[in-house]
C-alpha cells in the first residue's frame, strides 16, 4: 500500500472509531437516557442552581412537567448527534469543527465522570473510558498534526492504556468486578463462574502486559494487535451474549450500541498496530487532502525516512 493510502486508511480508521463511539452514545441519549441522573439529582447540584436563582420546581420539574434537569438531559443528545456528524465532515482545516470534536471529548468526559460517580467512585470506571473520551481528540490530532505525529501516537497510547488498565483492574478483581463480565463469559463459553473468573483474571493480566508492551519496540505491534482483537471481542461479546431471536428486534436495540460505542477499544489499538509498521518502510508524502500530515509539513518533498515524529 502506498504511504498516502496508508495514512488515509489510518485517518479513516480514527474517524470511524470516533464516529461509532459517538453514534453509540447518541443512540443511548435519544433512545435510552444519558447516565447523568446521579450528577443532577442531588443536593449539591440543586445548591448550585439555587445560587443561580433557580428554584426547586424549575430545577427538577413539578412532577407533571419537566424541569431544568430533564430538559438538559434531553438536550445533551443533540450535542452528541452534532459531534457524531462532525466526525464525518471534519477536514484538516475545519478548525471550528475540530473545536466541536474537542467538545465531544469533553462531553464524553462528563459522561465518564457520571458513570464513575454512579459506580460509587470506582476509579477503573473512570479510567476505562479514556479510550472513548480520547477518540474524537485523536481524530483532531491526526488531522491537525498528522496520523504519525508523536503527540497523536502518544494520545492513542494513553487511550489504549487507560481502557485496558481500567478493564484489567476489574478483571483481576482489584475492584469489584462488574457482574456483566463473568456473566457474559459464562454464557459465551458455557463455563462455570469459577472458570469464567479465572479466565477473566488471566485476561486482566494480559491487559496490563499489553499496556506495558506497547512501550517497547520489540513487542508493541503484537501487543497492539492483541489489544485490537481483544477489544473487538469484548465489545461484540455484549450483543453476542444478550441478543436472542425471542426478543423484539432480536434485542438489537438493547445490546448493539453496547458494542458500537466501544469501537475505540479496538480501533485505537488497530491504529497503533498499523502506524507502527517498521519505520524504515514508512515514507511520507506531503498532501493537501485530509490525511493530516500536519500544517508544517513540507508541501512537496521526496520520499524520506521518518525519524522524528513516530514514536519508536
Partner 1 sequence: MKFIKWLTLSLLVVLIAGVAVSQQKNQKRKGRAVLSVPKVAKKDLICFALYTVHDNTLKLTAQLYPLPAGDSRTVGLEIKKEEEWVEVARATVIERGWTAPFRVEQWNDSQSYEYRVVHEAGSTYTGTIRKNPVDKGEIVMAAFTGNSIHPAHGGDISREDIIANVKRIDADVLFFAGDQVYDHFKHYAGWLKFGRDFGEIIKDRPTLCLPDDHDAGQPNLWGESGKVSTLGGASDGGYSRPGDYVKEVERAQTSHFPDPVDPHKIGQGIGVWFTNLNWGNVDFAILEDRKFKTGPAGRVPKQGPRPDHIRNPDYDPASVDVDGAVLLGERQLKFLDQWSQDWEKADMKVALSATIFCGGAHIHGGANGRLHADMDSNGWPQSGRDRALSALRKGFAFHCAGDQHLATIFHHGLRSHRDAIWSFCVPSIANLYLRWWEPLKPGANREPGSPIYTGDHLDGFDNKVTNYAAANPEKKPAGNILNTRSAGFGVVRMNTKKREITMECWPRNVDISDPGARQYQGWPRTISQLDNYDPPSWGKLGKLTFDVENPVVQLVDETSGEILYTVRVNGKTFSPGAPKGRAFTVKAGRDQASAVILEEAEVGGSARDIRVK
Nearest approach, Cβ of 279 to partner 1 (angstroms)? 11
Helices (H) and strands (E) in the chain, counts: 14, 0
151 Cβ neighbours under 8 A, 6+ residues apart: 141, 145
The grid coordinates of residue 239 equal: 450483543
State the Cα–Cα distance between residues 188 and 210, nearest whole angstrom: 24
CB neighbours of residue 215 within 10 Å: 12
What residues does 305 pair with on adjacent strands?
283
| CB closer to partner 1, 57 vs 288 | 57
Cβ(210)–Cβ(195) below 8 Å: no
The grid coordinates of residue 18 equal: 470516533
Cβ(227)–Cβ(160) below 8 Å: yes
164 binds partner 1 per the rule CB under 8 A: no
Nearest approach, Cβ of 19 to partner 1 (angstroms)? 23
255 binds partner 1 per the rule CB under 8 A: yes
Q: Candidates 62, 222, 281, 289: give the one binding partner 1 (CB under 8 A).
A: 62
Nearest approach, Cβ of 90 to partner 1 (angstroms)? 27
| CB closer to partner 1, 101 vs 157 | 157
What x/- string results for residues 167 through 186 when contact with partner 1 is judged by CB under 8 A? --x----x-x--xx-xxx-x
222 binds partner 1 per the rule CB under 8 A: no
State the Cα–Cα distance between residues 172 and 32, nearest whole angstrom: 31
Q: Candidates 5, 42, 281, 289: give the one binding partner 1 (CB under 8 A).
A: 42
The grid coordinates of residue 82 equal: 452534532
233 binds partner 1 per the rule CB under 8 A: no
57 binds partner 1 per the rule CB under 8 A: yes
Cβ(308)–Cβ(150) below 8 Å: yes
Using CB under 8 A as the criterion, which residues of the chain lie in contact with partner 1 when the complex forms?
31-33, 37, 41-42, 56-57, 59-64, 67, 69, 120-123, 127, 150, 154, 157-158, 161, 165, 169, 174, 176, 179-180, 182-184, 186-187, 193, 212, 215, 238, 241-242, 244, 246-249, 251, 253-255, 308, 311-312
Amino acid at each position: 500500500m502506498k504511504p498516502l493510502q496508508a495514512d488515509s486508511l489510518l485517518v479513516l480508521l480514527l474517524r470511524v472509531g470516533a464516529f461509532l463511539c459517538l453514534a453509540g452514545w447518541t443512540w443511548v441519549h435519544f433512545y435510552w437516557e444519558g447516565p447523568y441522573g446521579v450528577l443532577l439529582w442531588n443536593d449539591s447540584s440543586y445548591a448550585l442552581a439555587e445560587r443561580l436563582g433557580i428554584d426547586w420546581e424549575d430545577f427538577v420539574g413539578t412532577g407533571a412537567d419537566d424541569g431544568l434537569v430533564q430538559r438538559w438531559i434531553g438536550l445533551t443528545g443533540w450535542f452528541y448527534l452534532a459531534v457524531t456528524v462532525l466526525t464525518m465532515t471534519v477536514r484538516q482545516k475545519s478548525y471550528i469543527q475540530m473545536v466541536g470534536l474537542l467538545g465531544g471529548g469533553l462531553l464524553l468526559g462528563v459522561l465518564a465522570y457520571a458513570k464513575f460517580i454512579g459506580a460509587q467512585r470506582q476509579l477503573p470506571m473512570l479510567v476505562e473510558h479514556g479510550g472513548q473520551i480520547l477518540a474524537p481528540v485523536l481524530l483532531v490530532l491526526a488531522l491537525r498534526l498528522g496520523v504519525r505525529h508523536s503527540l497523536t501516537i502518544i494520545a492513542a497510547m494513553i487511550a489504549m492504556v487507560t481502557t485496558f488498565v481500567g478493564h484489567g483492574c476489574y478483571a483481576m478483581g482489584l475492584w469489584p468486578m462488574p457482574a456483566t463480565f463473568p456473566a457474559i463469559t459464562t454464557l459465551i463459553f458455557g463455563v462455570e463462574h469459577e472458570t469464567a473468573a479465572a479466565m477473566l483474571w488471566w485476561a486482566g493480566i494480559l491487559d496490563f502486559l499489553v499496556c506495558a508492551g506497547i512501550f517497547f519496540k520489540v513487542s508493541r505491534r503484537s501487543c497492539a494487535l492483541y489489544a485490537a482483537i481483544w477489544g473487538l471481542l469484548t465489545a461484540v461479546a455484549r450483543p453476542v451474549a444478550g441478543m436472542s431471536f425471542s426478543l423484539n428486534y432480536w434485542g438489537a436495540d438493547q445490546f448493539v450500541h453496547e458494542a458500537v460505542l466501544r469501537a475505540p477499544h479496538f480501533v485505537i489499538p488497530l491504529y497503533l498496530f498499523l502506524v507502527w509498521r517498521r519505520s524504515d518502510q514508512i515514507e511520507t508524502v506531503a498532501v493537501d487532502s485530509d490525511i493530516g500530515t500536519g500544517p508544517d509539513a513540507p508541501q512537496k518533498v521526496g520520499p524520506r525516512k521518518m525519524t522524528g515524529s513516530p514514536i519508536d
